[in-house]
Structure 1
Amino acid sequence: MTDDPGRPLTRVKGGPQRADLLELFFDLAFIASLTLVSQQMAAEQSWTGIGEALLVLSTLWAVWVTTTLITDTYSPRKRPIPYLILGIMFGVMLMSAALPTAFRDHGLVFGGTWAVINLGRGLVLIRSQRGRQGQERSVRALAWSLSAGALWVVGGLLDDPGWRLGVWLAALAVDYIGFGFRFPVPGRPALPRYEVSPEHLAERYQQIYILTLGELVLVSVLGLSHQPFTPDRIAAFGTAFLTGVVLWWSYAGGAGATLRTAIEASPHRARLVQTNPYAHWLMVAGVVGTAAGVERIIAEPGERPEGVMTALILGGTGLFLCGRAVLEHEVYGRVPLSHVLGVAATIALAPLAAHLPGLTVGVAAALVLVGVALGELLRMRRRSTPASVAP
């Protein structure tokens, strides 16, 4: 780490743009939170509970996205950036610990910690950028954080879970709108679009998606290890493995693998910076929901899924496919027909799910993903095969 006040904090153009080990260390805190969200989803029996789980997942995702944008703009080896990242990591761990009871006893811990992260980050960046270009963005972000932070704290103080959920939804909307519109302020010109390092940004999203798949692997292994090894549970375990493989291949063999090139070549690079978080959020939420469904299926393979469990199994698949379609559109400018048909298939299967064992529904969801992957594979082969020349 360097500590030269005369040197800028931003990354040096032409210098190393790879992700730093500190960033991978930070990701561990986020993955821990994914595990807790997945467990909460698996244990929930109500739509309100699923909504609460999605809200906390979206909040933690906002922490990850904003932290990644910091390390994309500022070198994580220049003080005070590494201390700022470690401070945010501690906050994420505290939020994760409060996550299971965020809508009961520890609402103020969860919401208040997120407010402190936002305010502390803004103050540190404003002080570090004193007299430098870019300070105005941090000042505006701090102003938006004050508004959202007040709502997070007020929500944490409310005793009624329904009111807390409503206030926190409003707070999260302020956070997302502020980021999406680059912290607008009445009477002031719009801030410049985000300048990014394509290599670093693409690598960070690739890393977090693969680490999210690790959550599915972990849930599958732990779920089977706590149960008797019956044929139907082993079949559920095998289905989970197949699902994980297809979720990996779909990303690694598609737009995810060419994300850096797409960002570099895109005439709308700034738009990609702002749409990437939402596309990847859909995929991450889909994987977490799928992991929760897998946990339930391995525990009770013959259980007929009610509405919430159906949403976890089929909805997780549908969310992932929606995210992949959005990413495909942003990278290649198209929406693959296979993804549209895959989402339609998950919707069509939903009414039948209540009459089938959970294992059968899980197999059906896996087959939908396999079908979409095969469609993608055939499309890529047609694109790579030279057109025949007529004699």
Structure 2
Amino acid sequence: MAERREPVTGGPRRAPIRGPNGSPRADLLELFFDLAVIAGLAMTSMKLAADQSWTGIAQALVLLSTLFAVWVTTTLITDSYSPRKRPVPLLILGTMFGLMLMSAALPTAFGDHGLIFGGTWVAIFLVRGVVLAWFLRGRPEQERPVRALIWDVGSGTLWVAGGLVADPGWRLGLWLAALTADYTAYGLRFPIPGRAPLPRYEVVPEHLAERYQQIYILSLGELVLVSVLSLGHEPFTADRVAAFGTAFLTAAVLWWSYARGAGATLRAAIDSSPHPARLVQTNPYAHWLMIAGVVVTAAGVERVIGQPGERPNAPMTALILGGAGLVLCGRAVLEYEVYERLPLSHVVGVVVAIALAPLAPHLPGLAVSVAAGLVLAGVAAAEFLRARRRPAG
């Protein structure tokens, strides 16, 4: 069982620690915050669909990773501190505004609005760290936001420098270095030379599992929304309706396989794991892969519904088949962490998606989209049959 944190007494100011008797369920404010994330996912898929190049794909994935890192760190804050105690609600609302501003700047983040995107990222993390350090002063919990601030100042210089550099290639390199530093700091729990490692994250299993379940299901809403908007702006033809139907079935399979697989048992896995902190640190990477796969798939759907007979080029093929591959990779990581086994069906699915890539340029986009959907459905069917053969208990 993951330990519940005890309330801390003393100190000059009442700390907003989530108490053991507090509700483990997600707060409505957290769901409100998720709306900003969905806006960011929508802008990312639009950028992917509009910029059919390898550089465009790389840029979009870096930007998506940045937005998702904001969500992950905010979720850890609401898992540690009550979202109903000051200053946490103000921090969430401030982060939400910053995330909305970053999403608005996302389409031109490698153009005129680079400093807005990178600078807003730095402002979110520095302001949040300073406020938490102030409210936790005199308490042992203060050390974590203080260490995070030290790392954020270092990576923040790279974010700002990237926003000031005019060349998109240099900006991509600087932001990738900054993002690597941020993810490394999170994974290693903000190490400082000469100081003892921070204690592992203590979690509220029900809350944390619910938050990851919610963000994944909401990401599927992006696939649904793109499908509806794409068909709604085009004449209804048989091939477009077929592409629309394929997108719906793909979304349904992605929901069903998660809801009947590791996603449904995530809370129990965190709760019963002898190493819950490991799941806390691997969950973001597994769900990033899945959410990136959904966003990439949505970008492919937008193009396929618009021109179902078009033969895809290499970047377009990467969107259609690569989206399925990313989802399966993320599911494989999650299944391994939850069930401590690497599902063969997911590995086979990734291999099949890669094997289909050389054939894609010779087929219409609709056919490639159907093939990607069949790969996902085949993996889901294999998992369903395996689950039925598993002995009860």
Q: Is 1:240 matched with 2:253?
A: no
Counterpart code for 1:145: D
The aligned counterpart of 1:69 is 76
Deviation at 1:384, TM superposition (A): 4.2
SS at match of 1:354: helix
Match of 2:199 in 1: 192
* 2:181 counterpart letter in structure 1: V
Aligned length: 383
Give the Å deviation of 1:6: 4.9
Match of 1:28 among 8, 17, 35: 35
After superposition, what is the alpha-carbon deviation per residue over 1:220-258, rounded to whole angstroms, capped at 9, x for unaligned?
A: 000000000000000000000000000001100000000
Residues of 1 paired with 2:66 and 2:315: CA distance? 22
**Matched AA of 2:111:** R
For 1:196 and 1:39, locate their aligned partners in 2 and report how far apart those are by CA, in whole Å: 35
Deviations along 1:116-166, one digit per CA (max 9) or x if unpaired, are 111001100000101112101111000000001110000000000000000
Matched residue, 1:38? 45
Residues 385 and 124 (structure 1 numbering): CA distance in 2 closer, same or farther, change over 3 Å?
A: closer
What does 1:159-198 align with in structure 2 at a 5 Å threshold?
A: 159-198=166-205
CA contact (8 A) 2:12 2:137 kept: no
Contact 2:15-2:135 at 8 Å conserved across structures: no
Q: How does 1:122-141 map to 2 (within 5 A)?
A: 122-141=129-148
Normalised by the length of structure 2, the TM-score is 0.96
In the alignment, structure 1 residue 84 sits paired with structure 2 residue 91? yes
Whole-angstrom CA distance in 2 between matches of 1:55 and 1:329: 25
Q: Does 1:331 align with 2:338?
A: yes
- Counterpart of 1:118 (choices 120, 125, 146) is 125
What is the Cα deviation at residue 268 of structure 1?
Answer: 1.1
- Compute the displacement of 1:385 (Å): 6.0
> CA shift at 1:8, angstroms?
3.0
Q: TM-score, normalised by structure 1?
A: 0.97
- Give the C-alpha shift of residue 73 in structure 1: 0.3
1:241 and 1:318 mapped to 2: Cα distance? 18
C-alpha separation in 1, matches of 2:333 and 2:372: 20
CA shift, 1:46, in A, is 1.1
Question: Percent same amino acid among aligned pairs?
Answer: 73
Gaps of 5+ in 1: 387-391
- Aligned letter for 1:13? P
Q: Distance in 2 between matches of 1:344 and 1:361?
A: 15
Contact 2:25 2:207 in 1 (8 A): yes
Q: Give 1:135-284 correspondences, 5 Å limit.
A: 135-284=142-291
Q: Which runs of 4+ in 1 moved over 4 A?
A: none
Partner SS for 2:195: coil
SS in 1 for 2:390: helix
Q: For the residues of structure 1 that align with 2:141 and 2:372, how far apart are their CA atoms?
A: 47
**After superposition, where does 1:2-13 map in structure 2 within 5 Å?**
6-13=13-20
Kept after mapping to 1: 8 A contact 2:13/2:136: no
Secondary structure of residue in 1 paired with 2:55? helix
1:7 positional shift: 3.5
Which AA in structure 2 matches 1:211?
A: L
Pick one of 349, 367, 374 that aligns with 1:367.
Answer: 374
